[in-house]
Chain A
Amino acid sequence: DAGVTQSPTHLIKTRGQQVTLRCSPKSGHDTVSWYQQALGQGPQFIFQYYEEEERQRGNFPDRFSGHQFPNYSSELNVNALLLGDSALYLCASRRRTGTSGNTIYFGEGSWLTVV
């Protein structure tokens, strides 16, 4: 049973460029969330997708956008990259139905460096 998978694992972009990160949720999961983890910080919630719609959003600018596909996989897009966007981007998935305490499973993350 594959867990949450993310790609690419590492990438370097230049300021002003755009980036797309991809995530496949754990089998049986239908809800995908994205987190940004800057160096030395805890993960910060970006947004959550369910049934191909953004359901919740954290305190991130509109440069951060996402998408969820019918197979539940998801993309995170960041436009007009800033140096401060350099971070580990974590994708997490869970099953929405069932108990509210359903565990959230994380992928290994995508390391983004903006130069």
Chain B
Amino acid sequence: AQSVTQLGSHVSVSEGALVLLRCNYSSSVPPYLFWYVQYPNQGLQLLLKYTSAATLVKGINGFEAEFKKSETSFHLTKPSAHMSDAAEYFCAVSVSSGGYQKVTFGIGTKLQVIP
């Protein structure tokens, strides 16, 4: 069975500062990893995904994440936070089970950006 751990349910950064949201996963088979963002009262929007092509994945809005197998991590970063980045971020792991994908989400990290 797979699982996702997001360290820090709330993260606060100053505008212009580095954003680092942590995600560790557990999977018995090579996983596919995703980061989604959820703005208030909205659904989930894909930021980026790792599908084994490249360990450093670039996504939308200046976000990127690096897959580190040895650390079972897929941390999300952005060099400079913007006020519009304030949202909740979910890390998710997807593995194939019986020919179907099963996706497991972390509990989410709320990002607050301080002016």
Contact = CB atoms under 8 A, between A and B. Distances in A.
A105 B98 CA distance: 21
A4 B39 CA distance: 17
- DSSP majority for the B interface? strand
Contacts of B101: 31, 94, 100, 102, 104
Contacts of A33: 103
B100 A43 contact: no
B100 A48 contact: yes
Contact of B103 (A50, A104, A107, A108): A104
Contacts of A101: 32, 49, 51-52, 94
Given A33-B103, A45-B102, A56-B102, A106 B108 contact: no
Contacts of A99: 51
A52 to B, nearest CB: 14
Interface residues of A, number: 29
A96 B94 CA distance: 13
A43 B104 CA distance: 8
A97 to B, nearest CB: 11
Interface stretch (B13-21, B40-48, B66-74, B75-83): B40-48
Nearest to B108: A42
Given A43-B105, A90-B43, A103 B49 contact: yes
Complex A-B, nearest 7 residue pairs according to Cβ-Cβ distance, in ascending order? A101-B51, A42-B105, A101-B32, A106-B44, A108-B43, A106-B43, A42-B107
